[in-house]
Amino acid sequence: MAYTLGSAIDGKTRGVGPQHCVTRVELSVTAANLLDRDVASKSDPFCVLFHEVDGNWVELGRTETAVNNLNPVFGVKFQIVSNKKLHRPLILANGKPAGKGSITITAQELSDNRIITLTLSGRKLDKKDFFGKSDPYLEFHKRGEDDKWMLVHRTEVIKNTLDPSWKQFTVPLLSLCNGDVTRNIKVLCYDYDNDGGHDFIGEFQTTVAKMTEAQNSVQVEFECINPKKQKKKKNYKNSGIIILQFCKITRDYTFLDYILGGCQLMFTVGIDFTASNGNPREPSSLHYINPLGSNEYLAAILAVGQIIQDYDTDKMFPALGFGAQLPPDWKVSHEFAINFNPTNPFCSGVEGIAQAYSACLPQIRFYGPTNFAPIINHVARFAAQALQQEKAAQYFTLLIITDGVISDMDETRHSIVQASKLPMSIIIIGVGNADFAAMEFLDGDASMLRSNTGEEAVRDIVQFVPFRDFRNAPKETLAKSVLAELPQQVTQYFKQRNLPPTNPAPE
């Protein structure tokens, strides 16, 4: 789970470990006696988890659909920051009870950051389908404190085969065995049926200690046993073999682990000074500073910067402008220091950025076009230098504040795709009421961004937010939305490069 930046700030400023400021909790969901909403069969239920944000319910995730099942045990888990166990009767929208239906949510604190990655396949599994072979899947169960078996993970279904190969998957070690490598784990193999009446193929028991023998090209094999068949048939051997091809235990470091381990967020601001913003001396301009001493550019700088600056010890931030003519020769620049000191473009804190911005406005002429690539490449050069260190010491965040359409879209796409390989993220805040379709395109939430040559970004590093959606909201709401993806982007980058925190907390 990605921590919110606010949680991480608490941990940093108070000087405590992550376990004291945020508790990660995994939720397992089961239900019983659900209402039957289908005519010819039973209901096909699924569960959706919401959380409240500023009075609105926002979806956090949803389980798989349990076909034809009024007593589902869902395999998909949720991770949140809570630690309660809940058993609640279900109610209808009108407030009346939903029959005898109930939902049970079991929470487990993920205080151990170890994760286990497994790759499994099967060989010569029993044929269960009349017209085909089998559609096998696996379920992993652990023995709970009450001595009952509890579902931990369910693999995908592999269609029409007796020799399946399942996708590699990762689960928290606490989920699989409560962190105890000697605790028994039961693995069940089923043949999936569309009507929900899945056929049991066989099972076996093991431990994580046994599974970790599957390393360095060594495979571990388990006989899949059907106890009923074993009792009936004297010459029964097994119902197939389950092969553990790969098993590895690693540590799943969080954003907070990296920050507390010494990673600095290097913050740079890029400001759009193109003519489409309007004359800054006129109230209609987006750069016009009102009698309260603010405008949308300043509001965006302060909202985001006041949070990010807590992650940088010296609080010295480069502030760049683009799209303006500069004195004395009035040439257009798409990469200039707003303090007019190209050898030292740093401003002291967010207030220093705001002061340099206000001071430069009367000294420049707004022009164009709106080119993003130069300042993206500027920050990327420093991120590339940090990359050479091969440690999780620095991560660069570029905040671009702009009023409109990008002029150098092909160059910008190329720059972002290249920057996705570096310790770098880009936040774009659109001010004014322009058409921001191009910005939405750069934000690779719908599909991964590609350059004009077809090269795909290795990860999504762009977050776009239109300022107009937050004009009447508290500034904290804007910062929360703008910075929502940054923790995940930081951890994703360092994990892809197998870089642990520079100074990890003691085990």
The reported pLDDT for the residue numbered 506 is: 60
Q: Are strands 169-172 and 114-123 parallel, antiparallel or unpaired?
A: antiparallel
The reported pLDDT for the residue numbered 398 is: 96
- Per-residue b or e along 274-297, where b marks 16 or more CB atoms closer than 10 Å to that residue's CB: bebbbebeeeebbbbbeeeeebbb
Q: Are 379 and 345 in contact (CB under 8 A)?
A: no
DSSP per position, 67-120: TT-SS-B----EEES----EEEEEE-TTS-EEEEEEEEEEEEE----EEEEEEE
Helices then strands, counting H and E runs in the chain, come out as 13, 24
Residue 235, phi-psi category: left (phi > 0), alpha (psi -120 to 50), beta (remainder): alpha
Structure tokens at 115: 């994760």
Structure tokens at 438: 């191009």
pLDDT digits (tens, 9 = 90+) for 356-394: 999 999 999 999 999 999 999 999 999 999 988 889 999
Residue type, 328: P
Contacts for 122 with CB less than 8 Å, ≥ 6 apart: 136, 162, 163, 164, 165, 189, 224, 240, 241, 242, 243
* DSSP-derived 3-state class of residue 332: strand
Q: What is the DSSP letter of 55?
A: T
Whose tokens are 């919110």? That residue is 4
Contacts for 373 with CB less than 8 Å, ≥ 6 apart: 334, 408, 411, 412, 414, 415
Whose tokens are 């759009």? That residue is 272
The reported pLDDT for the residue numbered 19 is: 32
114-251 has CATH 2.60.40.150 classification = yes
Q: Are 253 and 8 in contact (CB under 8 A)?
A: no
Whose tokens are 């945020």? That residue is 22
The reported pLDDT for the residue numbered 197 is: 85
Residue 12, phi-psi category: left (phi > 0), alpha (psi -120 to 50), beta (remainder): alpha
* DSSP-derived 3-state class of residue 131: coil
Beta bridge partners of 62: 48
Q: What's the CA gap between 462 and 458, in Å, rounded? A: 12
> Is the Cα dihedral 337, 338, 341, 344 positive or negative?
negative
DSSP per position, 183-222: S-EEEEEEE--TTS-PEEEEEEEE-HHHHTT--TT--EEE
Q: What is the DSSP letter of 15?
A: T
In the chain, domain spans: 25-109, 114-251, 265-467
> Is the Cα dihedral 176, 178, 181, 187 positive or negative?
negative
Q: What's the CA gap between 96 and 501, in Å, rounded? A: 51
Regions of the chain with pLDDT less than 70: 1-23, 53-54, 81-85, 444-446, 505-507
Global pTM? Answer: 0.70
Q: What's the CA gap between 261 and 501, in Å, rounded? A: 5
Beta bridge partners of 189: 138, 202
265-467 has CATH 3.40.50.850 classification = no
What are the distances in angstroms from CA 28 to CA 103, 115, 474? Answer: 11, 17, 35
Asked if the bond preceding 369 is cis, omega within 30° of 0, the reply is yes
pLDDT digits (tens, 9 = 90+) for 326-347: 999 999 999 999 999 999 999 9
Q: What's the CA gap between 376 and 334, in Å, rounded? A: 10
Residue 84 phi, psi dihedral angles, 5° rounding: -115, 150
* DSSP-derived 3-state class of residue 353: helix
